[in-house]
């Protein structure tokens, strides 16, 4: 087998992961392929206008692109040239048929598997990077190995990246997980992939399992993290009702080493491409195996997350004299978290739609996410729309009755809030759903301030 690597899928998984692998393995040729010509053109753009925003990504791509990292639409040529094939295609939640709203839509993944089989010119290692339901590898293996022409080892190497810190997560991972068949061919394939990561990751952090454990671990890890977010937001509601401070509660709980401080920050709820999709996938799996009580438990995590966004809008309505009609709300932040332009399942999307239903005038501002916001809200935008997209936060706040901070970009605490207050209608309200602003300073300026969990 040769050492060349190809990744099918040039999105949030494939692009950053392969860039770091190329940087850390200068002796390997790494190719990222995709059927989306405009996306590949962006990866190859002279000014490095990459199709995704991730801190530090441009620097890595500049270092290796054209040396041992290449972006192409020639999937067939890349599959023939490389013996290790990572698959990072989109696996969204189904919107039709059985399992709609819960199960993963695997049509793109299956099409990729069939393409790999058709293009292969020898034995290959196929590595799942997309988040997939447990035992999906069996389906891929059935597609690939239904003839004796070539052998395919199907492994699972789930990503554990957090958008906004993906490059650091790749360079200094908590762990790398590689699962595969436990026969001779499968174990040899696992070692080949271990060798890729071992060029920079300490060996004790590279964990190997059977393929089913690797697939399930990805879903389970995201479900546990999502559960913590929903749990602290449930506590935040109690804090608001009783006069407790959720940040103080979280600080003391986090000091218990059995709990720890991570993912105990109250806010508008989780978003992004993974948490909701993976929890719903877990719900579907539990139902499929007759584990109905477990399914309801995990479904509750999703319901609590959606309730948190409804609760934010309800509090805003209550504090603004029970009506938002024709009042202007400046929404600060549309990305699901800071340091990314990703708006998939962003809490801001649900909140903006609820504000629009209340006939509020909405000005959305965000440093990176406005292009995606325009796509997500296309059905609400137009000549009669009450929504405007404004890159300048000061302009977004002009004449507003309220500022609703939804994403904790570092830019926002450093803004001139006196200037913002002076430009707004009075009484002026700030609802800081991320608890990242100086509450007392805002009050001293004259703002009425709302926080989550306070």
* Domain stop point among 186, 209, 232: 209
The proportion of the chain whose per-residue pLDDT surpasses 70, expressed as a percent, equals: 96
CB 130 within 8 A of CB 104: no
Angle CA(272)–CA(129)–CA(10) in degrees, nearest 5?
Answer: 70
Per-residue pLDDT of 329-361, as tens digits, reads 999 999 999 999 999 999 999 999 999 999 999
Is the Cβ–Cβ distance between 376 and 343 less than 8 Å? yes
Q: Are residues 61 and 149 in the same domain?
A: yes
Q: In this predicted structure, what is the pLDDT of residue 135?
A: 62
Domain final residue, candidates 209, 241, 275: 209
* Each residue's pLDDT tens digit, 288-299: 999 999 999 999
The side-by-side arrangement of strands in the sheet containing 84-87 is 69-72, 30-33, 5-8, 84-87, 124-128, 152-156, 176-179, 206-209
**Same domain for 11 and 134?**
yes
Question: What's the alpha-carbon Rg for the chain, to the nearest Å?
Answer: 24
Same-domain status, 183 and 220: no
Do 121 and 240 belong together in one domain?
no
**Mean of the pLDDT values across residues 159-164?**
90
What mean pLDDT do residues 58-62 have?
A: 98
Place of tokens 């790494």: 30
Q: Give the number of domains in the chain.
A: 2
Residues in the chain: 454
Average of per-residue pLDDT across 34-41 = 96
Instruction: Give residue 92's pLDDT.
Output: 63
7-33 mean pLDDT: 96
pLDDT at 105: 67
Q: Are residues 391 and 309 in the same domain?
A: yes
Residue 28 belongs to what domain range? Answer: 5-209
Q: What is the crossing angle of helices 14-24 and 57-64, to 10°?
A: 50
335 and 368: one domain? yes
Query: Are 39 and 57 a contacting pair, CB within 8 Å?
Result: no
- My answer on whether 67 and 119 are in the same domain is yes
Q: Tell me what pLDDT residue 242 has.
A: 96
Residue 4 pLDDT > 60: yes
Q: Are residues 175 and 267 in the same domain?
A: no
Which contiguous run of DSSP H or E holds residue 317? Answer: helix 292-319
Average pLDDT for the chain: 93
- For residue 39, pLDDT over 60 is answered with yes
Say yes or no: 366 and 423 in one domain. Answer: yes
Q: Which of 239, 274, 286, 436 is catalytic?
A: 274
The whole-number pLDDT of residue 100 equals 75
State the sign of the Cα–Cα–Cα–Cα dihedral 168, 338, 7, 42.
negative
List Cβ neighbours of 107 (8 Å cut-off, separation of 6 or more). Answer: none
Percent of all residues in the chain with a pLDDT value above 90, rounded to a whole number:
82
Residue 203 and residue 214 in one domain = no
Given 141, 175, 209, the domain boundary residue is 209
- Assess whether 202 and 216 both reside in one domain: no
pLDDT range class, residue 64, cuts 50, 70, 90: very high
Q: Is the dihedral of CA 405, 407, 411, 414 positive or negative?
A: positive
Same domain? 170 vs 282: no
CATH number at residue 164: 3.40.50.720
Q: 203-233 pLDDT, tens per residue?
A: 999 999 998 899 899 889 999 999 999 999 9
> Is the per-residue pLDDT at 104 higher than 70?
no
* Model pLDDT for residues 107-138, shown as the tens digit of each residue: 777 888 889 999 999 999 999 987 665 566 67
Q: Is 274 a catalytic residue?
A: yes
Q: What is the pLDDT of residue 134?
A: 58
Sheet of 429-432: strands edge to edge? Answer: 387-389, 361-365, 328-332, 402-405, 429-432, 448-451
Whether the predicted pLDDT of 88 surpasses 60: yes
Least confident of 35-44, 95-104, 166-175: 95-104
pLDDT, tens only, 371-425: 999 999 999 998 899 999 999 999 999 999 999 999 999 999 999 999 999 999 9
Instruction: Work out the pLDDT band at 102, boundaries 50, 70, 90.
Output: low
């Amino acid at each position: 087998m040769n050492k060349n690597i190809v990744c099918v899928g040039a999105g949030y998984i494939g692009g950053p992961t392969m860039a770091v692998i190329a940087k850390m393995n200068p002796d390997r040729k790494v190719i990222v392929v995709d059927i989306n010509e405009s996306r590949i053109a962006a990866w190859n753009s002279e000014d490095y206008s990459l199709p995704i925003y991730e801190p530090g990504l441009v620097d890595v791509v500049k270092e290796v692109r054209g040396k041992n990292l290449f972006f192409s639409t020639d999937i067939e040529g890349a599959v023939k040239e490389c013996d290790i094939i990572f698959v990072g295609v989109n696996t969204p939640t189904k919107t039709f048929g059985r399992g709609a709203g819960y199960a993963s839509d695997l049509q793109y993944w299956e099409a990729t598997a069939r393409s790999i089989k058709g293009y292969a010119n020898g034995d290959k290692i196929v590595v799942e990077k997309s988040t997939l339901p447990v035992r999906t590898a069996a389906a891929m293996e059935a597609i690939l190995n239904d003839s004796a022409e070539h052998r395919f080892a199907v492994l699972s190497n789930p990503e554990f990246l957090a958008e906004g810190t993906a490059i650091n997560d790749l360079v200094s991972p908590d762990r790398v997980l590689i699962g595969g068949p436990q026969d001779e061919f499968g174990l040899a394939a696992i070692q080949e992939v271990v060798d890729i990561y071992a060029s920079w990751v300490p060996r004790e952090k590279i964990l190997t399992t059977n393929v089913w454990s690797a697939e399930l671990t990805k879903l389970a890890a995201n479900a546990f993290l999502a559960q913590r977010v929903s749990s602290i937001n449930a506590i935040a509601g109690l804090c608001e009702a009783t006069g407790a401070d959720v940040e103080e509660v979280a600080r003391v709980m986090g000091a218990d080493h059995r709990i720890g401080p991570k993912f105990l920050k109250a806010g508008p709820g989780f978003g992004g491409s993974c948490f909701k999709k993976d929890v719903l996938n877990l719900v579907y799996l539990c139902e499929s195996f007759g584990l109905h009580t477990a399914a309801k438990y995990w479904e509750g995590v999703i319901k609590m997350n959606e309730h948190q966004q409804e609760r934010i809008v309800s509090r805003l309505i209550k504090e603004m004299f029970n009506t938002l009609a024709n009042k202007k709300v400046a929404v600060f932040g549309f990305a699901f978290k800071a340091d990314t332009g990703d708006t998939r399942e962003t809490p801001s999307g649900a909140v903006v739609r609820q504000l629009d239903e209340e006939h509020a005038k909405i000005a959305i501002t965000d440093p990176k996410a406005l292009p995606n916001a325009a796509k997500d809200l296309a059905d609400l935008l137009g000549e009669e729309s009450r929504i405007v997209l404004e890159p300048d936060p000061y302009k977004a706040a002009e004449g507003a009755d309220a500022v609703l901070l939804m994403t904790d970009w570092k830019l926002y605490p450093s803004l001139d809030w006196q200037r913002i207050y002076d430009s707004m209608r009075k009484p002026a309200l700030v609802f800081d759903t991320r608890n990242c602003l100086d509450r007392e300073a805002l009050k001293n300026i004259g703002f009425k301030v709302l926080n989550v969990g306070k």
